[in-house]
Amino acid sequence: MVKWSLAAELLAAMMIVVLMAYYREKKLAVTRKGKVYRSCLGLSLATVLLNAVCVYTIEHTEQVPRAVNLILNSAYFLVAVLTCSVIVLYLCYLILEHVYDKRHLRRALLCISGGTLGYLLLILWNLSSGVLFSFDPGGNYRRGPLNRIGYALMAAELLLLAVCYVQNRASVNRPMVKLMHTLPPLAIFLAAFQLAYPQVLLNGMMMAMADLILFISFQSSRIETDGLTGIGNRNSFFAELSLRVAGRQQFQIVLLSLQQFVTINQRFGHQRGDAFLYEVARYLDGLCRQARAFRFGNVEFAVVFPWRGETEATDNLQKLRERFQRNWRLGEVETRLTARFAELICTGQSWSPTQIIEGLEYGLRLAKAGPEDTVRFNERTAALLEKERMLVNIMRRSVLEQRFQVWYQPIYDCRSGAFTSAEALLRLQDYEGNMISPAEFIPLAEETGLIGELSWIVLEGTCRLLGSGRVPDLRSVSINLSMQQFAEQELISRIVDSLDRNGVSHDRLKVEITERVLLQDMDRMRTAMAEMASRDIHFYLDDFGTGYSNLSCVLDLPFECVKLDQSLVAEFPDDQRADLLVRTLVCLFHNMGLQVMAEGVEAVPQAETLARYGADWIQGYYYARPMPESELIPFLKEKNHAPQGGAKEVLV
């Protein structure tokens, strides 16, 4: 009787148990792929254990009934082939994961299922025929003429896998390519060794090695999985696009951004906020069987659909829009999550993955800024994006060539009747001499990260002007800082250095901050503002009347002045409600010990009524437009030292 060696099988069993334990501990099986992989581990372990039991019963036939031996060995023959079939089918699924046409997968499933079913029938026939194996009257194990047919079936499945891989090579991701270059050759080598040395059992080792290689692939894929939601992250999204484009797939992408999600965290806490993000991700990932969802950003998600025509694409988008018009429930908590959408359809255009992402981001930016909640990236938006790229290029060159100019808008002091303050503003011309609107380049600067450099240009220009001695009438000049500046460690030291280097008293520089900037990181802002206030640098709350107009910001932070946004005074004083609101706000802020400045004042009734209501400062075209430094100095001399009432009477 042949003596089989179980050393390799025992080692394989230990490897599989370790993989199962680690897999369970790390909770990796959260997706359909993960669950299939877990099934592969379970079947592999069952194969190894059955093999060990069969070896024991064969070697102790005098203690084990012949029927038991037949059943155990039949089960082993079936489970061994079934395990190989499941692993191969799983690999076919991974190969075709980024291919919308699933005919190859259905064919593979049909072939593998048919082969496995045929092998099951052969095992059942073997019970009476002994074509696979049998036990003689003495209890000895005998191989039948078709004993190796299981290896032939496994080889056929590997060949099927290779064909599937070659036919869809362009759409196969890099980890899968490495796996296909490793696993089949290793399986062929171990199978050949098993056939050459039948006394050394290696079936379990083959399966354990396959499980290990798959696990390594899982480990690398965790880098592309979002830890909070369990769906793919931005890197995974880029990889998905690359494979779709390389495979010439046609697809629809919807990029969505949750709006004002910071209020969800404030109302319900960050833990519940994360839970809402998880619910959104789960909904998006289950929206369509062949759709894939990704967490693109903090509160941004992308969904990739197969393209099957305009009608289905419209339905996909409409489902998303309708869902975000309804409330989301989390236990006893229920709230509305609003969203903006950008859509892009790729049906053969020569777009790279990077260009697709740029188009989606641009479309989403347009959706956020415009009246409609959805923008489709098409030829029109592509032309706008190209114009934007040209503007970014002009901005980058202008920073290097020092072409940005600091202009100043004088601010009228209602108490003294003179211009004693100003706001520093940035201006830029293109290379043909045409003025570029700040409404165009400031948002772009924030998007591209250039806002930091632009803010420092304004700071340096302002400090040089105040330190030059040419504007003695200006008690202060205000500048705007973005969140990017407040995130920099050297912010305060850099501001103080610029003031001291130019010999400017710290209290002559005012910093304007919008509520939008405050809400991005309130704790950081509170700390930075407190330290700057201790150095005699004070703050204006800018654009009050937009956003949330949160009075707690005014109470909790060291603001010196509140600037009423021009939207509040646009209908003032003709509209009774606007008139009542402005008068109430001026009184309220004065009672809180704050000064009040009104922005966007363009008409005589507005200016006169604001002054009568007690506004401290008035800023707007009625008194002065923004002007370069060369015009500011003579303007101040003329207006502040004009005959009595000059500043009030002249419309600039």
Using H for helix, E for strand and C for coil, what is the string for 533-583? Answer: HHCCCEEEEEEECECCCCHHHHHHCCEEEEEECHHHHCCCCCCHHHHHHHH
Q: Considering the entire predicted model, what is its pTM?
A: 0.58
Instruction: Supply the pLDDT for residue 625.
Output: 96
User: Phi and psi at residue 249, in whole multiples of 5°?
Assistant: -80, 150
Report pLDDT digits (tens) over 331-373.
Answer: 788 899 999 999 999 988 888 899 999 999 999 988 988 888 8
547: left (phi over 0), alpha (psi -120 to 50) or beta: left
Block residue for tokens 């052969």: 122
Report pLDDT digits (tens) over 511-570.
Answer: 999 888 887 788 888 899 999 999 999 999 998 887 665 677 778 889 999 999 998 888
Block residue for tokens 């400090």: 463
**Rounded Cα–Cα distance for residues 585 and 607 (Å):** 16
Domains of the chain: 7-223 (1.20.1070), 225-377 (3.30.70.270), 389-641 (3.20.20.450)
**Rounded Cα–Cα distance for residues 121 and 115 (Å):** 10
Identify any residues that bridge with 628 across adjacent strands, giving them in sequence order: 407
**Rounded Cα–Cα distance for residues 564 and 545 (Å):** 6
Instruction: Supply the pLDDT for residue 650.
Output: 44
Instruction: Supply the pLDDT for residue 651.
Output: 41
The DSSP-derived string for 22-80 is: HHHHHT---SHHHHHHHHHHHHHHHHHHHHHHHHHHHHTTTTS-HHHHHHHHHHHHHHH
Would you tell me how many other CB atoms lie within 10 Å of the CB of residue 131? Answer: 15
Strand order of the β-sheet with 374-376 is 292-295, 300-306, 251-258, 339-346, 374-376
The DSSP-derived string for 393-427 is: HHHHHHHHHT--EEEEEEEEETTTTEEEEEEEEEE
**Rounded Cα–Cα distance for residues 603 and 621 (Å):** 8
Report pLDDT digits (tens) over 213-250.
Answer: 888 775 555 567 887 887 889 988 998 898 888 888 89
Identify any residues that bridge with 436 across adjacent strands, giving them in sequence order: 428
- Six token digits for residue 485: 């500046």
Rg of the chain taking only CA atoms, in angstroms: 36
- End-to-end CA distance of the chain, in Å? 111
The b-or-e profile of 593-618 (16+ CB within 10 A means b, else e) is: ebbbbbbbbebeebbebbbebebbbb
On the CB side of 11, how many CA atoms lie within 13 Å of its CA? 12
Tell me the CA distances in angstroms from 168 to 173, 176, 290, 406, one per residue in order: 10, 12, 17, 58
Instruction: Supply the pLDDT for residue 247.
Output: 83
Find, among 587, 590, 480, the residue nearest to 543 by Cα: 480
Tell me the CA distances in angstroms from 105 to 97, 119, 144, 251, one per residue in order: 9, 21, 34, 19
Pick out the chain residues at pLDDT < 50: 28-29, 645-646, 648-652
User: Phi and psi at residue 292, in whole multiples of 5°?
Assistant: -130, 135
Instruction: Supply the pLDDT for residue 547.
Output: 62
Find, among 261, 244, 262, 263, the residue nearest to 253 by Cα: 244
**Rounded Cα–Cα distance for residues 121 and 113 (Å):** 12
Instruction: Supply the pLDDT for residue 267.
Output: 86
CA angle 135, 141, 145 (to 5 degrees): 85
Block residue for tokens 């909770």: 27
Block residue for tokens 């012949």: 66
The H or E element spanning position 301 is: strand 300-306
309: left (phi over 0), alpha (psi -120 to 50) or beta: left
Instruction: Supply the pLDDT for residue 28.
Output: 47
Instruction: Supply the pLDDT for residue 495.
Output: 96
Q: How far is CA 49 from the centre of its chain?
A: 45
Q: What mean pLDDT is reported for the chain?
A: 87
Beta strands at 476-480 and 418-429: parallel, antiparallel or unpaired: parallel
